[in-house]
Each structure stands twice: as C-alpha cells, then as structure tokens.
Amino acid sequence: MALISRLTTGSKIFLSREKRHRFIKECSIFNCEVVVELLCHKVQDPSQTTQMRALCGLACLMCTDLLSLEQIFSVTHVRLTQLSNGTAGPVTNKATKLLRQFEALLGFSVIRTITTEDTPVDQSSYKLNMADQIPFGARDAVLKHSDTLPEDMPQIRGYDFNQGVDHRALLQSYLTTGFQASSFAMAVQEINKMIDRRLEPVEDQENACDSQQSQSGCTIFLGYTSNLISAGVRETIRYLVQHKMVDVIVTTAGGIEEDLIKCLAPTYLGEFSLPGKELRQRGINRIGNLLVPNDNYCKFEDWLMPILDQMVLEQKTEGTCWTPSKMIHRLGKEINNPDSVYYWAYKNDIPVFSPALTDGSLGDMIYFHSYKNPGLVLDIVEDIRRMNCKAVFAKSTGMIILGGGLVKHHIANANLMRNGADFAVFVNTGQEFDGSDSGARPDEAVSWGKIRMDAKPVKIYADATIVFPLLVAETFAHQASKLTADKKGV
C-alpha cells in the first residue's frame, strides 16, 4: 500500500510532526487493522531506518481511537517482543518502550519468549491477563541478581538477652549491631590499638631533648569541649589523667574553669526547657539541662584573684614567662583537690593546652584583674612549639577528640607536623554539609595530612556524655592494670 510505503521510506529514522499528522489522517479512510498488519510486516524489514519508521507509525496509531489498544497489541506483540530481546540499539529500545506503554495503559504484562525465524510462535502463550501477570520488567528490577559478598564480612546480629545481662558482652555485640553501635565498637578497637602501641618499649631519640622525648610507644592526645567538664564526663576524664593514661590535653577556657569551679561549688541537674528570662532574674546560668548558680563564679573570682596577683609578681621579679599551659599547671597546683582534672595534670606533669584561655570566665577574671593589677602576659607562641613538638617527636600518635571546634583542629594541626596521626577517634554530632571543621569526617583530615593515609580512623555520631564513659570502660579501664603497672605518683 502506498500509504505504508510513503511512511517507511526516508533517510531519517524518526517521523516529522507533519508526516505523523498526515499518516493519522489518511489512516482514518482505510481499514486500520490492515494498516497495523502492514506496519508489523515492515518492522521485520532488514533496514533499521524502515523498522524505526514503522515503529513510529505504530506509536502514532496507539495515540488515536481508530483501533483499540487491545487490537493493536494482539497483532504486534509477538514482533515487538522479539525486537525487545534483540541487540541493544534504537530499534530494540523503541520496541521495549512500546511494550511498556501497552502495559501501563492496559494493566497487564507481556510473557516474553525469545523466538527466531525458525521457531514458530504459539500465539496462545501471549495472554492478556490483567490480574495474574507481573508487569513487564518489574520482576527483573526487583529480583536483581546479587554479587557474592566476601565470606569474612560480618553478619548483623545483636545481643541475645536470653543469655542474661552481661554488659561487656552487650557492648561487644555492638560491632555486629549496625549504625552508630558498630562505629562505637570500631572506636573501641581503635583506642585499644593506641593502648597496645603505647605499651611498646621506646628507644631514645637522637634529635629530641629530655622535654621532647616520647615517654611511650603512642602519645595520646585527648581533646574535649567545655560542656563535657560541666557534665559528669569530667570524672571519666579525671580518671584518665589521674592514672597517666593520656599524654596531652587540649580544651577550651570553659573546660578549665568549670573543673576548678566544681571544686568550689556544685553544678546541678535542671531541664533544657527552663526559660532563660526567669533564670537570668534568679542569677542561674543554664548549660543545656545543667544549672550553675552565678554565685559559683563569684567564688571562683575570690579564689583566682590572689593567684593572678602572685603570677604578676613572679613575672616581674623572677622573669617568669607565663603561657596558658603554665597557668593551667599553676591552677592545678593551687586547687589542691583530688576531684580536679587539672590537679592530677599538675601532679602527673601532663601538659594542658588551651590557646583560647581567655574565652570564658577565666578571661572575665583576667580582664577585671588587668584594671586592679595590670601587666600579666600569656605567651601562646611557646605553647604552640611545645605542643607541636609533642607530636613531632612521638613514636606514634593517637587522637581522641570529644566535640569539635578549636580542640579538634588544634590537635589535628599538631599532628600535621608529623604527617598525620596514626590513630584517631572522633565523637561528636556535627555534620559536614556546612563545611565546618567540627562536622568534618576523619577523611577530610587525611586530605590535609593530619591523619595518616594508612590509618583507620573512626567517627561516632553521638552525644559524648553517653558514649565516652562506655568507651573508657571498654578500653583504658579494662586495661588499667597494664597501663598503670609502672606509673608512679598516682
């Protein structure tokens, strides 16, 4: 028929809009069932262009009411199925698309079988079963074949309380629990690696003076934000310092003053929802759900001012060059209270670095004191050299950082000086999507050279008040007998 010949003859594989409209108009005056039969015959033409133009003609008829979709499908489905099973290409794609359109419009699936010219097709095997057949392609999409996973890959399985309550076994089961529980278990493994390395013997280093000489196989840097000292994590940190389980501490001003203030007056448990206006009128300060009476800071001022006077005097008469770490060492000595983190840091000669020492109540008191007795100087340059050398001359280093901000970056940057820490555990709730250092994953630190490329750092996305005491229980406290075997002054 001339109509079909005109439609399927041409150099382009697709029909123009004008040709489509003319074809549909002319079809209306012919027997459309015959037109479909002829198009189906043209679909078998050796020419890919002819095949594509014939398929386009079928697509045009599907968009009209000249024939029902069921009628068109009954004539074309065999050939369309054969084409859809062929080698990938425009014709195969077009045939597959038409089959999917039929299924979407009619609500049944095509039972596909690969046929050849030599294999007759049983027309009865192609049934329009709207209720029982799976839609075309759905089974392949849902039941996609899986690659075989490694045999040593852990399988997810949680703790079985039928075994009774064994808290250590419960925490060990976290490794195969998934999500942040698994991150916790991996952090336990990472810290235990630090401890194992720490217990290795240390050889004398040629280029290090006595003050720089590494005292253990792994120098552990512990960093934490001030809110953790305000909270009960203070006692966990004090335990580590008391028993010389860490080598270097970095914290903020609040992380210093809150420890000292707690030796003078307590912090209380309140609620997150307490209204700020009412608390301000009552002279009560809120840290999350913790409450600190303002009188605590008044007591802190009374205790601190005489010490600042003495520091100024020693600076003037003895030439003492004060640094933040030296000041913290002095405050630990003066507080003389075994509940204090910094008392034990003083007793065990563990350096505490706080480059932002003036950002808090300590800064307030130094500011007030500068009017009464001016002249106190704190040198941060000496501290940065001392801290960086702790990393440079270490046999290996580990970072345990609770929270983010200054403490996280200050420790990481010191480890840059040795081309990265060997071990690292971060605990915080920060996300990386705002570009903050606090939320950055350990892999970002690898890119800066702050964690070594062959390290296996761990980040736990969690509240450190929940996680850190459990981490210590599974690591430092569990290995306390080894870690404290040769310690003195504890």
Distance of CA 25 to the CA centre of its chain: 61
**Three-class SS of residue 292?**
strand
Alpha helices by DSSP H, listed for 87-206, are 90-106, 138-142, 167-172, 179-198
Within 8 A by CB and 6+ apart from 312, the residues are 373, 375, 376
**Three-class SS of residue 213?**
coil
Catalytic residue among 244, 326, 390, 450: 450
CA distances to 324, 329, 407 from 336, rounded to whole Å, are: 19, 11, 26
Q: How far apart are CA 289 and CA 194, in angstroms?
A: 34
Known catalytic membership, residue 450 = yes
| Residue 442: Cβ within 10 Å count | 20
CA distances to 185, 279, 319 from 373, rounded to whole Å, are: 52, 33, 17
| Residue 428: Cβ within 10 Å count | 22
CA-based torsion, 136, 137, 141, 146: positive or negative = positive
Pairing of strands 219-224, 248-251: parallel
Q: Which residue has the tokens 């336990």?
A: 188
Instruction: Kindly state the tokens that stand for 45.
Output: 């033409």
Q: How far apart are CA 366 and CA 364, in angstroms?
A: 6
CA distances to 197, 364, 388, 394 from 202, rounded to whole Å, are: 10, 43, 19, 10
Q: How far apart are CA 301 and CA 309, in angstroms?
A: 12
- Taking only Cα atoms into account, the Rg of the chain, rounded to an integer number of angstroms, comes to 38
Give which of 461, 401, 445, 406 is closest to 426, Cα–Cα: 401
DSSP 250: E
Instruction: Kindly state the tokens that stand for 207.
Output: 């280029």
Q: Which residue has the tokens 């198009």?
A: 39
Give which of 477, 438, 490, 443 is closest to 461, Cα–Cα: 438
Q: How far apart are CA 150 and CA 147, in angstroms?
A: 10
Between the CA atoms of 321, 326, 332 and 336, what dihedral angle is there, to the nearest 10 degrees? Answer: -40
- Which positions are catalytic? 450
